[in-house]
Amino acid sequence: MPLSPDQLAEIAAQRATPKPTLRAVSEGMEAHLYHAHEVLDHGFVRVIDYMGDDAAIVQAARVSYGAGTKHVSNDEGLIRYLMRHWHSTPFEMCEIKLHVKLPVFVARQWIRHRTANVNEYSARYSILDREFYIPAPDQLAAQSVVNNQGRGAVLEGAEAARVLEMLKRDSNTAYDHYEAMLSETQADGSPQQGLARELARMNLPANIYTQWYWKVDLHNLFHFLRLRADPHAQYEIRVYADVICKVVADWVPIAFAAFEDYRMGGATLSSKAIDCVRRMLKGEQVTQETSGMSKGEWREFIGVVNDPA
């Protein structure tokens, strides 16, 4: 179960006792506050707190850049200008604190984004629950033969059943041993000295669930989302990023729209790539050999400029 009865009761109590405030409030974010958005089989994302909104970005930019932005006639235009020209500090004026429940192997990818504050559930002090991520059948894929970091065809039939059974059996066996090592009572009821929690945890699999509080500013959150909400990102972290995208779109709709346009939907071209585009516009037939690019660069460039249809 993604949320325990105690956590559900805490959420209900928090939402039942709203407090007046003089600070800026995002109505879109208020609707998300404390609610848990379920992810995967046992995970969730929920907003614990936030600071700022679209207006806070504009306010910071006008203090910072002064007369230099007076030609921008409205807040949306200013935010899009900031995003377009890679001005980061105004977006750092907004912050969000999330409570996330996620598999350990996903957490190890997530923690690579080091520009955040993190406090994780401690298995030195507490006992982890018997909750493991088991992929849905449509996510149980073979290793890609063209991408060392990716997945290939989905496993089917007996092979899929064999892998799922191993995942479930090994996870539960490891947890059985974890409980046995912690236990202060033998099978016959006689006392024994249980192993320290900080040692017993090392036998647990990477698909067990952990939890943390994760606080980050909007600029660095956008960087996280650009990488992890990308279609090429690993599915298990991408579904968390997709949920966070929906939350951010309600929190700072103008900034998120600019982010989608310039970061998620845009592309960065090298000077060689720009030169090729200019030559193509003049009617020149440009090839990889005449582009000055490597085969990999050319393949990525063609993927950007070609009509997806």
For 203-257, write each residue's pLDDT tens digit.
Answer: 999 999 999 999 999 999 999 999 999 998 999 999 999 999 999 999 999 999 9
Q: Give the DSSP H/E element, type plus range, for residue 172.
A: helix 157-182
pLDDT at 141: 82
Which sequence spans correspond to the domains of the chain?
Answer: 5-133+207-264, 134-205, 271-305
- The Cα–Cα gap between 60 and 50 comes to 17
Beta bridge mates, 143: 151
3 state DSSP class of 37: strand
pLDDT of residue 67: 54
- Evaluate whether 235 touches 128 at the Cβ level (below 8 Å): no
Alpha-carbon distance 125 to 253, whole Å? 40
Instruction: Report the C-alpha dihedral over residues 91, 98, 101, 221, rounded to 10 degrees.
Output: 0
pTM: 0.89
Task: Kindly report, residue by residue over 122-176, the tens digit of the pLDDT.
Answer: 999 999 999 999 999 888 887 776 666 777 788 888 888 999 999 999 999 999 9
Q: Which one, of 127, 211, 132, 126, lies nearest residue 171 by Cα?
A: 132
* Active-site residue, selected from the candidate residues 46, 80, 201, 228: 228
In the prediction, which pLDDT does 151 show? 74
Q: Which of 186-190, 269-273, 296-300 has the lowest mean pLDDT?
A: 186-190
The highest-level CATH class for domain 5-133+207-264 is alpha beta
Q: Tell me the Cα Rg of the chain.
A: 24
Q: In the prediction, which pLDDT does 7 show? A: 80
- Counting every residue written for the chain, the total comes to 309
- Mapping DSSP onto H, E and C, the string for 243-298 reads HHHHHHHHHCHHHHHHHHHHHHCCCCCCHHHHHHHHHHHCCCCCCHHHHCCCHHHH
Span 101-122, pLDDT tens digits:
999 999 999 999 999 999 999 9
Residue 276: the pLDDT is 95
pLDDT tier at 16, thresholds 50, 70, 90 = confident
Does residue 162 carry a catalytic annotation? no
> CB atoms < 10 A from the CB of 303, how many?
10
Cα atoms found within 13 Å of the Cα of residue 57, Cβ hemisphere only: 29
